């Protein structure tokens, strides 16, 4: 199994508070992704990174920011959490675009009250 | 964006039965993956199969890229096969995997 961990695994927070989710990989893969999974929508891309300090927006990026200061860590921040951001968040990694097989972490369940 | 449709949406099988899951996509793709999401929520890679046929134990997959579909075959199903099976594709123009809505499979003893 790919070495991907996510922390925390579960979090309950209140509307308006900042939240940071962490993805850590031990595979030295260049590409990292954040997705959210919601009922009826499958998984949708929030942001992705194609290298240290190189990030770009995905389909559902509003209300989220990301940072990648080291190859192994990709952080997702909700600056001011809203109830619509209650979801399960998955991190994924891939080694190259030529063969962009993505491997997923265990997920973080976030509830915003 | 690229559309991904999976069928059937739900499937109930008795242990030992065989099944075929289908994934149709609307445009050319660089990448196609099949995943199994188990009852604990973990996404498990089954196949990376942008074209051709692969087999892994009781599972096999075929992608016909020119006709824009992929099939996942499950033979001699077991209760541990229960969960949701997702097809995900990467369009030629992007990085993201675009997921279908999944096929929810329940295998009964």
Locate the chain B residue with the closest alpha carbon to A47.
B96
- Decide if A42 and B86 are in contact by the 8 Å CB cutoff: yes
- Per-residue confidence (pLDDT) for residue B1, from 0 to 100: 83
Is the pLDDT score of B24 beyond 60?
yes
Alpha-carbon distances of B23 from A9, A36, B61, B102, rounded to whole Å: 31, 21, 11, 9
CA distance B91 to chain A (A): 11
Tokens 């096999």 belong to: B60
Mean pLDDT rounded to a whole number for chain B: 95
CB spacing of A90 vs B43 below 8 angstroms: yes
Is residue A2's pLDDT more than 70?
Answer: no
pLDDT digits (tens, 9 = 90+) for A34-81: 999 998 778 999 999 999 999 999 999 999 999 999 999 999 999 999
Give the count of domains, chain A: 1
The answer to whether residue B79 sits within a structural domain is yes
Over A23-86, what HEC string results? EEECCCCCEEEEEEEECCCEEEEEEEEEECCEEEECCCCCCEEEEEEECCEEEEEECCCCHHHC
Residue B39 lies in a domain: yes
pLDDT given at position A41:
73
Q: Tell me whether residues A102 and B97 touch, CB distance under 8 A.
A: yes
Q: What are phi and psi of A58, to 5 degrees?
A: -110, -160
Quote the domain boundaries for residue A83. 4-112
Mean of pLDDT values over B38-62: 95
Number of structural domains chain B divides into: 1
Indicate if the pLDDT at residue A1 is higher than 60.
no
Residue B20 lies in a domain: yes
User: Cα–Cα distance between B51 and B69 in angstroms, integer?
Assistant: 10
Domain extent at residue B37: 4-94
* A75-98 pLDDT, tens digit each: 999 999 999 999 999 999 999 877
What band does B8 get if pLDDT is binned at 50, 70 and 90? very high
| Residue from A77, A87, A83, A91 nearest A31 by CA | A91
Q: Which tokens in the block code for residue B48?
A: 């990376």
Within-domain flag for B101:
no
Q: How far is C-alpha B73 from the chain's CA centre? A: 9
């Amino acid at each position: 199994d790919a070495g991907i961990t996510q922390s925390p695994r579960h979090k309950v927070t209140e509307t308006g508070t900042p939240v940071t989710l962490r993805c850590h990989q031990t595979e030295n893969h260049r590409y990292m992704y954040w997705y959210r999974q919601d009922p009826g929508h499958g998984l949708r891309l929030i942001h992705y990174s194609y290298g240290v300090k190189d990030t770009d927006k995905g389909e559902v990026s509003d209300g989220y920011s990301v940072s990648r200061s080291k190859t192994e860590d990709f952080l997702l921040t909700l600056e001011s959490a809203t109830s619509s951001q209650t979801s399960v968040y998955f991190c994924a990694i891939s080694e190259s675009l030529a063969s962009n097989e993505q491997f997923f972490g265990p997920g973080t369940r976030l509830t915003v009250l | 964006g690229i559309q991904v449709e999976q069928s059937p949406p739900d499937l109930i099988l008795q242990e030992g039965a065989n099944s075929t899951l289908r994934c149709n996509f609307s445009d050319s793709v660089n990448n196609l993956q099949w995943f199994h999401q188990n009852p604990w929520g973990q996404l498990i890679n089954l196949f990376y199969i942008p074209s051709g046929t692969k087999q892994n134990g009781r599972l096999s997959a075929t992608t016909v890229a020119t006709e824009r579909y992929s099939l996942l075959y499950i033979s001699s199903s077991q209760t541990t096969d229960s969960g949701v099976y997702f097809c995900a594709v990467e369009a030629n123009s992007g990085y993201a995997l675009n997921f279908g809505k999944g096929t929810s499979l329940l295998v009964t003893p």
